[in-house]
Amino acid sequence: MTPKLVLASSSPFRHMLMHNAGLAFEAHAARIDERAVEAPLARDGATPDTVALVLAKAKAKEVSDRFPACLVIGSDQTMSLGSQTFHKPRDMADAANHLLMLSGKTHRLNSAIAIAYDGDIVWEHVSHAELTMRSLDPDFIQRHLKRVGEKALASVGAYQLEGEGLQLFSRIDGDYFTILGLPLLPLLEKLRELGAIDG
């Protein structure tokens, strides 16, 4: 019997990507304190890749412990500029600061994914995308944030490429799914390998 797929996320974007790919799945948010998981990693100087992967695995494992005999997909994304790791902005002033720091520079999105089965991680993967933001005038940033409103607080980096955030960029290297935080192509390949979807 084919194991049931469970997405360990409440993200509407990840739900949409899975649904659009024709996957039958249930979604259950992981009950973990992400900042508590991250704190020791930050103290130890973990790379943004490692942080994303540890969080993806923690989400997959926590949900897998509650849903045995299911393939549970956990994912997480970090954003890095050089050695600095960014999180979702706390408020609109923080969002403006993020955009000012990213202005005219290339940053990296690190999208990690993990699959757990019966509480064990059976697969993990990290994909990257490089995004170059055009030089932004501080007044333009304020006008932009006023237009997009609270949506700016929902994403790491204070932008959403699937919306008006696209206007902030001059170059994007990487696939759409990695940018949205769910590297679907390697995931689908692994699900076919595991016999979880028709291949």
The pLDDT value given to residue 35: 87
Number of structural domains the chain divides into: 1
Question: For the whole model, what pTM was predicted?
Answer: 0.89
- Domain limits for position 26: 4-193
The tens digit of pLDDT for each residue in 139-160 reads: 999 999 999 999 999 888 999 8
Out of 76, 91, 139, 173, pick the active-site residue.
76
Please report whether residue 43 resides in a domain. Answer: yes
Q: Does residue 1 surpass a pLDDT of 80?
A: no
The pLDDT value given to residue 180: 87
Q: What's the mean per-residue pLDDT of the chain?
A: 94
Secondary structure of residue 172 in the 3-state scheme: strand
**109 contacts 128 by C-beta, under 8 angstroms:** yes
User: Averaged over 26-43, what is the pLDDT?
Assistant: 92
The CATH number that applies at residue 100 is 3.90.950.10
Q: What percent of the chain is modeled with pLDDT above 70? A: 100
Q: What percent of the chain is modeled with pLDDT above 90? A: 82
Q: Residue 47: which residues within 8 A CB-CB, separation 6 or more?
A: none
Please report whether residue 199 resides in a domain. Answer: no
Please report whether residue 51 resides in a domain. Answer: yes
* 76 among known catalytic residues: yes
Please report whether residue 142 resides in a domain. Answer: yes
The pLDDT value given to residue 2: 84
Please report whether residue 116 resides in a domain. Answer: yes
Residue 79: pLDDT band by 50, 70, 90 thresholds?
Answer: very high
User: Averaged over 61-76, what is the pLDDT?
Assistant: 97
Q: Residue 144: which residues within 8 A CB-CB, separation 6 or more?
A: 99, 136, 164, 167, 168
Sign of the four-CA dihedral 159, 107, 111, 96: negative
Please report whether residue 198 resides in a domain. Answer: no
Q: Does residue 47 surpass a pLDDT of 80?
A: yes
Please list the residues that pair with 72 across neighbouring strands: 6, 116
The pLDDT value given to residue 99: 97
The pLDDT value given to residue 42: 85
Q: Does residue 185 surpass a pLDDT of 90?
A: yes
Q: Does residue 103 surpass a pLDDT of 80?
A: yes
Residue 67: pLDDT band by 50, 70, 90 thresholds?
Answer: very high
